[in-house]
Amino acid sequence: MYDCIIIGCGPAGMTAALYLLRAGKTVLLLEKESIGGQIAKSPRLENYPSIKTISGSDWSDHLFDQITDLGAEFELEDVQSVVKDVDMFRVKTDFNLYDAKTVIIATGCNHRHLGIAREEELTGHGISYCATCDGAFFADQDVLLIGDANTALQYAISLSETSKSVFVATLFDKFFADPILVERMKKIPNITYRHNLSTKEFLGDKDLTGVIFEDTKTGEEVTIPCAGCFICVGQEPHNEPFKDIVELDERGFIVVDKKQGTGVLGLFAAGDCTQKTVRQVITATCDGAVAAVEATNYLNR
């Protein structure tokens, strides 16, 4: 019986573990892939306070070492379900069954990928999924943004402030963002756009140099040279195993209150798997800290 089982070993989950362990609680972290979550794949993390620059994997490793030194247990297992039984929780994985007094879901989410050849290879070498995280690396350079909704256009507007030019490519024949955002983007002189473009190929040897598209109406091949390509076509949370115990919004994110509570006593959620507007490392760690403090208060009561 653990005081808390944390599902997910990214920034939110590991921060929650840190706070719980310092409060003298027993903690088991369950992770189906690898420690660190999305940030572990980032070659540079430069917007985390007090750290000028560090690789995402190094940052994750430091935090993992910190919590394991404090006594955190860790298992590489895929959680299948969480069930509440009176005043405890039963967590089923693909290998075992665990019991805990509290649970924190911190499974994160993935940026939706295009599934184009060399996309994974060039991620971190010109391809990015977060303009807030990586836009500054392409200051005074030509960049490309693939996407058509609110976040995509917000990224384009943000990138226009530091990049030489921003080209926005959409798959369909219109934008799906709020009209006021579309009009704002159209007024910015260094942003251009084109509809009906299907991504076909990424160019470049070690680093991205451009992207080849096909016009879905004319069949024309369109090549856009760029130093950076930001892909913004949605995010996918990992909350399917919890659909029977927590409330999910229309996109599959967990609905939580200001204390990271799910509405089920003793069950909390933190980080990118939850319904929120800003998904950054620092907001995930904040969520994890809040969830852990509330879980500790619940345990103490």
In this structure, are residues 115 and 135 in contact, taking their beta carbons and an 8 Å threshold?
Answer: no
- pLDDT tens, the chain, 301 aa long: 999 999 999 999 999 999 999 999 999 999 998 899 888 877 678 888 999 989 888 999 999 999 999 999 999 999 999 999 999 999 999 999 999 999 999 999 888 899 999 999 999 999 999 888 889 999 999 999 999 988 899 899 999 999 999 999 999 999 998 899 999 999 999 999 999 999 999 999 999 999 999 999 999 999 999 999 999 998 889 899 999 999 999 989 999 999 999 999 999 999 999 999 888 899 999 999 999 999 999 999 9
Which helix H or strand E contains 56, and what residues bound it? helix 56-69
Measured CA to CA, the distance from residue 113 to residue 92 in angstroms comes to 29
pTM over 0.85: no
Q: Which two tokens stand for residue 64?
A: 């993992």
Residue 174, SS3 per DSSP: coil
d(CA 185, CA 187): 5
